[in-house]
Amino acid sequence: MNKSLVVTLIGPDRPGMVNAVSERALAHGANWAESLMANLAGQFAGIVHLQVDADEIEALSAELRALAAPGMQVVVAVAGGPKPAPTRRMALCLVGHDRPGIIQTISAELTRQGVSIATLTTAIVSGAMSGEQLFEMNAEIDVPEGVALGDIRRGLEGLANDLMVDLEFGRKSA
């Protein structure tokens, strides 16, 4: 029976970090199901979902934890538990002048409405015409079945006006 491990790594970026995880995963017959990895401010940050036979979980977890070193943190969690309630996956995109508090304001509204953020990417980019610093956010959010999309839209649009940002909210395209 396959189980899921979620592995997070963070530390100074250097060649071979992904290879070290993938070698250990392969040695235990694990399948690399999905991952998110980035170099942020000189630090490597990665999250990996591995599917592995239940008999291999302890040994693989120990080998992955052994990758930790001064400055390198490795956390291994066995995924599982009760199945979440049904949700609808929606897309949420935002662009506006960069300033502190945008993510906190948006995430507070989503939390207030019982919405979970499934994925979130952000960046500060230079505006094409003005050269000013713009903040871009792209998220996939999970909206519980009983929550009205119109309520979420109204709440987000009110915030977009307050924050002076452009916001798009709609069904996630396939």
Percent of the chain as helix, strand, coil, to the nearest 5: 30, 45, 25
Domains recognised in the chain with CATH numbers: 2-79 (3.30.70.260), 87-171 (3.30.70.260)
CA distances, 21 to each of 13, 31, 36, 108, 111 (Å): 14, 12, 13, 35, 34
**pLDDT digits (tens), the chain, 174 positions:** 789 999 999 999 989 999 999 999 999 999 999 999 999 999 999 999 999 999 999 999 999 999 999 989 999 999 977 777 889 999 999 999 999 999 999 999 999 999 999 999 999 998 777 778 899 999 999 999 999 999 999 999 999 988 999 999 988 765
Q: What is the pTM of this model?
A: 0.82
